[in-house]
Structure 1
Amino acid sequence: MKFQSRIKGIMLVIIGAMLWGISGTVAQYLFQKKDFSPEWLVAIRLLASGLILLLYAFIKGNQDIWTIWRSKHTILNLILFSIIGMLGVQYSYFAAIKYGNAATATILQYLSPVLVTCYLAICTKKVPNSQEITAIILAMLGTFFIITKGNIYSISISKLALFWGISSAFAAAFYTLQPRSLLAKCGSTVVVGWGMLIGGIAFSFIHQPWDFTGKWSITSIFAVIFVVLFGTLIAFYCYLESLKYIQPTEASVLSSVEPLSAAFLSVLWLHIPLGMPQWLGTACIIFTVAILSCTKNKESIVEF
Structure 2
Amino acid sequence: MKKTNNIRGYMLAILGGVSWGISGVCGQYLFMKYEISADWLTTVRMLLSGIFLLMLALQKEHMRVFKIWKERKDVIWLIAFGLAGLLLCQYTFLAAIKYSNSATATVLQSLNVVLMAIVMAVWNRKRMSRIQIAAIILAVSGTYLIATKGNPVSMDISAKGLIFGILAAIGVVIYTLLSRPIIASWGNLTITGWGMLIGGSVLFFLTRAWIFPTNLELPAWIIIAVIVIIGTAVGFSVFLESVKYIGPVKSTLLGCLEPASATILSALVLGTRFTVVELIGFVFVVGTVFLSVSTKE
Distance 2:28 2:98 in 1: 9
Aligned equivalent of 2:135? 135
- The answer (yes or no) to whether the contact 2:204–2:210 under 8 Å persists in 1 is no
Q: Secondary structure at the match of 2:64?
A: coil
- One-letter amino acid of the structure 2 residue matched with residue 91 of structure 1: Y
Aligned equivalent of 1:302? none
Aligned equivalent of 1:46? 46
Distance 2:204 2:105 in 1: 24
Alpha-carbon displacement from aligned partner over 1:70-119 (angstroms, at most 9, x marks no partner)? 22111110000010111111222223233332211111110001111111
Q: Secondary structure at the match of 1:271?
A: coil
Change in Cα spacing, 1:33 to 1:214, as seen in structure 2 (3 Å) is: farther
Distance 1:101 1:13 in 2: 27
Distance 1:136 1:214 in 2: 44
Report whether the alignment pairs 1:57 with 2:57: yes
Aligned equivalent of 1:4? 4
Distance 1:224 1:82 in 2: 21
Q: Secondary structure at the match of 1:36?
A: coil
Distance 1:177 1:113 in 2: 13
What displacement does 1:127 show? 1.8
Aligned residues: 297
- The answer (yes or no) to whether the contact 2:48–2:228 under 8 Å persists in 1 is yes
Aligned equivalent of 2:245? 245
Alpha-carbon displacement from aligned partner over 1:235-279 (angstroms, at most 9, x marks no partner)? 011111101111211111111100001110121122222222111
Instruction: Give the aligned CA root-mean-square deviation in angstroms.
Output: 1.6
Q: Secondary structure at the match of 2:271?
A: coil
Q: Secondary structure at the match of 2:156?
A: coil
- One-letter amino acid of the structure 2 residue matched with residue 9 of structure 1: G
- One-letter amino acid of the structure 2 residue matched with residue 40 of structure 1: W
Change in Cα spacing, 1:275 to 1:63, as seen in structure 2 (3 Å) is: farther
- One-letter amino acid of the structure 1 residue matched with residue 122 of structure 2: I
Q: Secondary structure at the match of 2:244?
A: coil
Q: Percent identity?
A: 39
- The answer (yes or no) to whether the contact 1:9–1:244 under 8 Å persists in 2 is yes
Distance 2:30 2:158 in 1: 22
What displacement does 1:201 show? 1.4
Distance 1:31 1:272 in 2: 15
Distance 2:181 2:254 in 1: 21
Aligned equivalent of 1:220? 220
The TM-score normalised by the length of structure 2 is 0.94
What displacement does 1:286 show? 1.5
Distance 2:89 2:214 in 1: 23
Alpha-carbon displacement from aligned partner over 1:159-216 (angstroms, at most 9, x marks no partner)? 3332321111010111111211011101101000110111111222212331223521
- The answer (yes or no) to whether the contact 1:50–1:196 under 8 Å persists in 2 is yes
What displacement does 1:45 show? 1.0
- One-letter amino acid of the structure 1 residue matched with residue 6 of structure 2: R
- One-letter amino acid of the structure 2 residue matched with residue 183 of structure 1: I
Distance 2:214 2:23 in 1: 18
Q: Secondary structure at the match of 1:178?
A: helix
- The answer (yes or no) to whether the contact 1:36–1:213 under 8 Å persists in 2 is yes
- The answer (yes or no) to whether the contact 2:12–2:239 under 8 Å persists in 1 is yes
- One-letter amino acid of the structure 1 residue matched with residue 166 of structure 2: I
Gaps of 5+ in 2: none
Gaps of 5+ in 1: 299-304
Distance 1:214 1:102 in 2: 25
Aligned equivalent of 1:123? 123
What displacement does 1:63 show? 7.2
Aligned equivalent of 1:275? 275
Distance 2:264 2:107 in 1: 17
Distance 2:233 2:38 in 1: 17
What displacement does 1:41 show? 1.2
Distance 1:241 1:219 in 2: 31
Change in Cα spacing, 1:158 to 1:212, as seen in structure 2 (3 Å) is: farther
Distance 2:63 2:189 in 1: 9
The TM-score normalised by the length of structure 1 is 0.92
